[in-house]
A = this chain, B = another copy of it.
């Protein structure tokens, strides 16, 4: 099934307690597309500037099912750039700089040939822009959005309008608290469902994620690992694995509680590979069989 992601391509500079990576490929769209591509073809809609090098572009070539027709190249502009430093506690990071670049300009327009996209993931950006993007995909059967604290803070009304038009929302626990006023993830999830979506996935980083669905609640730990080189992109890889799996399932209802649970497990497994290296390094050599193998191991690890 055709899966599309609208989001950010970034040039990241990352420092961790054990190393650094300078000007490497990053961004929500990038990690999402790479992760999803193991399960289904993925279309991307994102803008880059003149500083997006052939080195950066070559990374996408490692994922042959990613279609880059929706890549909007703007030679006179700058690609979104982010610099960050992870603390000894890798759950915490500080932003060193954010250069919005193309994100300050008009959003990219999805190519006409993408109109038949059935599965849509709106990675984090202004909820008004996310809502506008939805209109380009009239054939969609599933739309899921990500968001962040900034929009909850300054564009709450637009976010609530968006929530009436999507099937699912993915966000982290702090954002869920901001959006709903509730400190309990289950309660926060239920309040999000009251705003429109059929399900909400609340991400807790290394502590896994919670699914609140109209038909029930589920919880999944993160894949337990001690190989954590760079956590950047873990959340977007989780979403990519999740949506890739949902888009490729043959189940009668891909939005059922059970299917989303299975998809969350797939997302957790793909994310566990992402964090094994800086940028997309690990994902570029990853094989589907490795994902399936670890998914089996994960099922054993979390059985009760």
A221 within 8 A of B: yes
Asked if A218 meets B224 with Cβ closer than 8 Å, knowing A89-B183, A261-B304, the reply is yes
Asked whether any CB of chain B lies closer than 8 Å to the CB of A291, the reply is no
Q: Cβ of A222 < 8 Å from any Cβ of B?
A: yes
Known: A207-B204, A207-B208, A208-B207. A186 touches B225 (CB 8 A): yes
A169 vs chain B, min Cβ distance (A): 17
Q: Can you report 9 residue pairs joining A to B where beta carbons are below 8 Å apart? A: A90-B183, A186-B224, A186-B225, A204-B207, A216-B300, A217-B224, A219-B224, A219-B302, A295-B304
Q: A302-B219, A304-B262 are in contact. Are A210 and B186 (CB under 8 A)?
A: no
Min Cβ gap A186→B in Å is 4
14 additional A-B residue pairs with CB within 8 Å, beyond A186-B226, A219-B221: A90-B183, A186-B225, A207-B207, A208-B221, A210-B221, A216-B300, A216-B301, A217-B301, A218-B224, A218-B300, A219-B301, A220-B302, A265-B304, A298-B304
Instruction: Point out residues on A near B: beta carbons under 8 Å.
Output: 88-90, 183-187, 190, 204, 207-208, 210, 216-226, 228, 258, 261-262, 264-265, 295, 298-304
Nearest-CB distance from A255 to chain B (Å)? 17
User: Could you say which residues of chain B place their CB within 8 Å of the CB of A300?
Assistant: 216, 218
Nearest 10 pairs between A and B by C-beta? Answer: A265-B304, A219-B221, A207-B207, A186-B226, A187-B226, A219-B224, A184-B226, A218-B301, A217-B224, A299-B304
CB-CB < 8 A to A187: which residues of B?
Answer: 226
A190 to B199, CA, bound (A): 37
Chain B hits for A298, CB < 8 A: 304
How many angstroms between the C-alpha atoms of A217 and B90 in the bound complex? 21
Q: Does the CB pair B218–A219 fall under 8 Å?
A: no
Q: In the complex, how many angstroms separate the beta carbon of A166 from the nearest chain B beta carbon?
A: 23
Nearest B residue to A297, CB-CB:
B216
Asked, given contacts A204-B207, A208-B221, A224-B210, whether A303 binds B183 with beta carbons under 8 Å apart, the answer is no
- State the CA gap A224–B303 with chains docked (Å): 16
User: Which of A204, A258, A299, A303 has its CB near the most chain B CB atoms (within 10 A)?
Assistant: A303
**Could you say which residues of chain B place their CB within 8 Å of the CB of A207?**
204, 207-208
Which residue of chain B lies nearest to A212 when distances are taken between CB atoms in the complex? Answer: B224
